[in-house]
């Protein structure tokens, strides 16, 4: 890989400040920049690295103005982070050796329908009446059950399990160890204090361009479908329970858990370890800080909440000021009580 600043700026529709002929052949973080490296700067917290970096080219936001001389050639774009993501995507494509063909060690049921230009690796299992779209990549030791549909250009990484009758859209990515369509957690209490399993006869539907992180689980519905809408991104170790519905382009960081039958709107953002109780409604655009515990529906769009149980982030921050002072306040109350007793004697 070797590109000039001129080529990169043309690709990103950016403005060059510096030498348009400078060449890069590697990608670096700005704090680890090297000669011949391409970096980016979008977070002001890292501004100071720009003045010392050895990176040859740095992508910056259009409104960024250096405070002093910069050695690197700058490429100004509307959104430096998004632009660098585009560069990374292109770089990944250039270095990927996309495999094709079907391994002799894979098991494919004779009734399965396999598309064109697919890759099916060693020890993959594909069940009866399953449909695999064109350009799908299925890496070794993946399991795809009966009557599953996988849309074109989807990547299924090693060890993924897609259980029977689930539907996977186009251009999805399922990372290693993800499980789609395991049984929902449904048990009916009995008179003898035992629990009887409730059969989970629904499925899971992933719409197009959904990303499922490593070891994330999405449970099948008791009846109907657990639905993950278009563009949703779930990090590693996320748990989505039965009959949950997640709106378009919502993102969840690692270790979030969503209980059964909760409906989440589109364009929401949840930090790590957020927990949401069952049968709730979360409006569009809601943001939840890490480790928030949601016990009631959030019906106001674009709300920002934190804490457990969660509430508005501004009231939470004000409350936290007092929480940190509780030992001091408790001591003052005890002293006041002693003074009152002395006055009343």
Write the pLDDT tens digit of every residue in 35-87. 999 999 999 999 999 999 999 999 999 999 998 899 999 999 999 999 999 88
Determine the pLDDT at residue 116.
96
What fold is seen in the domain 3-95? 3.40.1390
- Token pair, residue 300, equals 């106001």
Q: Rounded CA gap, 87 and 82, in Å? A: 9
Determine the pLDDT at residue 313.
86
pTM of the entire structure?
A: 0.83
Structural contact between residues 253 and 268, judged by C-beta atoms closer than 8 angstroms: no
Determine the pLDDT at residue 95.
61
- Spans in the chain with pLDDT lower than 70: 1, 93-97
- The pairing of strands 225-228 and 245-246 is parallel
Determine the pLDDT at residue 143.
98
Q: What is 101-316's CATH superfamily?
A: Hexapeptide repeat proteins (2.160.10.10)
Q: Is the peptide bond before 309 cis (omega within 30 degrees of 0)?
A: yes
Domain ranges of the chain: 3-95, 101-316
Determine the pLDDT at residue 72.
94
Active site residues: 242
């Amino acid at each position: 890989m070797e590109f000039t600043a001129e080529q990169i700026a043309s690709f990103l529709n950016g403005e060059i400040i510096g030498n348009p002929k400078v060449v890069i052949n590697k990608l670096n973080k700005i704090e680890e920049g090297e000669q011949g490296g391409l970096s980016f700067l979008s977070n002001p917290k890292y501004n100071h690295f720009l003045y010392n970096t050895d990176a040859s080219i740095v992508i910056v936001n259009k409104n960024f103005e250096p405070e002093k001389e910069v050695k690197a050639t700058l490429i100004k774009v509307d959104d430096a982070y998004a632009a660098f993501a585009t560069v990374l995507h292109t770089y990944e494509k250039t270095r990927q050796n996309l495999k094709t063909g079907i391994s002799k060690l894979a098991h494919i049921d004779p009734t399965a329908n396999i598309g064109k230009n697919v890759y099916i690796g060693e020890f993959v299992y594909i069940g009866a009446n399953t449909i695999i779209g064109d350009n799908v990549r299925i890496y070794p030791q993946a399991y795809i059950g009966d009557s599953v549909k996988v849309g074109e250009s989807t990547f299924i990484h090693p060890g993924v399990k897609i259980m029977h009758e689930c539907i996977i859209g186009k251009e999805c990515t399922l990372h290693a160890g993800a499980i789609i369509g395991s049984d929902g957690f449904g048990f009916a209490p009995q008179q003898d204090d035992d629990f009887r399993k409730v059969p989970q006869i629904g499925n899971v539907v992933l719409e197009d361009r959904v990303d499922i992180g490593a070891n994330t689980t999405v449970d099948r519905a008791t009846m109907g479908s657990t639905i993950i809408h278009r563009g949703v991104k779930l990090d590693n170790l996320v748990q989505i329970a039965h009959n949950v519905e997640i709106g378009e382009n919502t993102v969840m960081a690692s270790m979030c858990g969503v209980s059964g039958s909760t409906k989440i709107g589109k364009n929401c953002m949840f930090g790590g370890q957020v927990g949401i109780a069952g049968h709730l409604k979360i409006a569009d655009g809601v943001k939840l800080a890490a480790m928030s515990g949601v016990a009631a529906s959030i019906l106001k769009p674009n709300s920002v909440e934190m804490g457990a149980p969660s509430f508005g982030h501004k009231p939470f921050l004000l409350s936290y000021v007092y929480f940190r002072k509780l030992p001091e306040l408790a001591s003052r109350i005890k002293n006041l009580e002693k003074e009152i007793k002395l006055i009343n004697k």
